[in-house]
Every structure is written in C-alpha cells, then in structure tokens.
Amino acid sequence: MSPKPSRVFIDTAAWLALANKSDVLHQRATELNQDLLSRAAHYITTDYVLTEVANALARPPYRRSIIRFLQAIFSSRGVTILTITRERFLRAWQLYKSRHDKEWGLTDCTSFIIMEEQRIQEAFTSDRHFHQAGYVCLLKLKE
C-alpha cells in the first residue's frame, strides 16, 4: 500500500506568488509547488483565503487571469477548499480576540483553526504569522 499523500495548507501568499509572475516569490513558489506535487501533496485551503486572492488581484489588468487561475483551483482534484462555517468563524474570532500580542488577521486565525482541526503542520506560505502560530512555513527565499 502506498503512503497517504501529505496534506499541506496553502495560504494567500503562496497562491499570489503562484498566480503573479512579478511576485518576488514567484519562482520559488513555482519550484516548491512542483516539488510538492511530485510528492503527491494535497492542498487544503479555505474560501476566506481564496477571497483574499481574488481581492488582491481584482484590478482590471489582472482580473481575467485571476478568474482563470481560481477556476483551475476550483476544479482541481488536488485542492480541497474548506468553508468557514459559523462555528469555525466563532472559534477563529475567539483566537483573534485572545491574541493581543499578535498582528494576526482574522483570515489567519481561520486558517489556524482549520490547520488545527485537520491536523496539518505544514503551510505553503511565506507569512510569518504561521511560524508564530507554531506551523512550518515552506515558502522562503533560498538563502
């Protein structure tokens, strides 16, 4: 029996780096994506994360390409998009309210709730907030 594919949470920063060729992390994100896919990684993301991606590239010069990009994500068997239900939102809101020492956004908190719920330790992101929350950030510039 072959090993179960690893599950990796993919955050806004990674989606944007993959979608936008002018992003400073585009090349590294593309390489990491190829490496993860070659190891049969399965991506977990949320509707909130994809809303951030769509909002970030909503301007007319990017709009058509981001629509195509998101459509590809929606139809991919390698990506599971979880919905932030009311229960998940309220748990994230509690986390948000409890961490006065952090700059974590509410979307970050929803991502952390999902990662905890799904028992995922690796995040395809460059967002340092994931590291602060105790997760492994996979997207870094090569040193």
- What's the CATH number where 48 sits? 3.40.50.1010
Domains: count for the chain: 1
For the whole prediction, is pTM greater than 0.85? yes
Question: What digits encode the pLDDT tens for the residues 12-71?
Answer: 999 999 999 999 999 999 999 999 999 999 999 999 999 999 999 999 999 999 999 999
Q: Which domain holds residue 65?
A: 7-137
The confidence score (pLDDT) of residue 140 equals 82
User: So what's the pLDDT on residue 87?
Assistant: 98
Residue 143 lies in a domain: no
Contact (Cβ atoms closer than 8 angstroms) between residue 25 and residue 120: no
| Residue 1 located in a structural domain | no
